[in-house]
Amino acid sequence: MRLFIGLAPPPAVREAIARERDRLYGRLGGKPTSTANLHMTLAFLGDATAQTLQRLRHLLTDIDMPRFSITLDRTGDFKHGAIVWLGCTATPPGLDALAEMLRARLTVSDIAFDRQAFTPHVTLLRKGQPVAEHLAMPVCWPVDALVLYASESTPRGVRYRPLFRQTLK
Ligand code: 2AM
């Protein structure tokens, strides 16, 4: 199983992000992320066994961190437009603290993850063109849970399936 831990936008926020994706897709092209797959990755774990999955559930259940909000107010890209994303000018301290704590617990538990520095983003397009701008209408995303996802290949493309949800305080 290919696993990652992330944040799932609530429906209204998901729709607002999807509108921004559609606007950028019209300008930049590329392969859009499906609305159902829109999310923010906190830690990418990759292939994991059923035993690791069980340990992850316990690890997540023990998390006792406060809720916070993210203001998505800017676009950006990685690798010259290979990935076009929506992110924030100011990372909320609660988001940084959550990602740091999660990664620290994974390390202590000896569960492998991609250690690339955390850059909060929601991928909108793949292989678009470089972009950097502030949004006319920032999107406020109230975050109240962490989600363990499985990344699955299906005949209709990749699907990020939520497996487990841990509510924040
Ligand atoms: P993204 O967060 O930039 O969209 C599932 O593959 C999710 O984990 C995707 O959202 C993907 O990129 C993210 N991810 C982070 N590191 C990854 C890695 N090393 N390989 C694959 N996906 C990774």
For ligand 1, the distance from its centroid to the CA atom of residue 3, given in whole angstroms, is 10
- Rounded-to-integer distance, Cα 90 and Cα 135, Å: 14
Q: Which helix (H) or strand (E) holds 166?
A: strand 157-167
Q: What is the pLDDT of residues 111-151, one digit of tens each?
A: 999 999 999 999 999 999 999 999 989 999 999 999 999 99
Q: Does ipTM come in above 0.85?
A: yes
Which ligand 1 atom is at minimum distance from the Cα of 40? 2
CATH no. for residue 91?
3.90.1140.10
For ligand 1, the distance from its centroid to the CA atom of residue 86, given in whole angstroms, is 14
Q: What is the pLDDT of residues 12-65, one digit of tens each?
A: 999 999 999 999 999 999 999 999 999 999 999 999 999 999 999 999 999 999
Total number of domains in the chain: 1
Contact 164, 70 (CB under 8 A): no
Question: Which residues have a Cβ under 8 Å from the Cβ of 101 and sit 6 or more positions away?
Answer: 63, 65
How does DSSP assign 138-154, residue by residue?
Answer: EEEEEE-EEEEEEEEEE
Q: Which helix (H) or strand (E) holds 40?
A: strand 40-47
Pocket test for ligand 1, best of 1, 3, 4 (most atoms within 8 A of CB): 4
Q: Give the distance, in angstroms, between the CA of residue 12 and the centroid of all CA atoms in the same chain.
A: 16
Q: Whole-model pTM?
A: 0.97
Q: What is the pLDDT of residues 137-148, one digit of tens each?
A: 999 999 999 999
The whole domain housing 139 covers 2-167
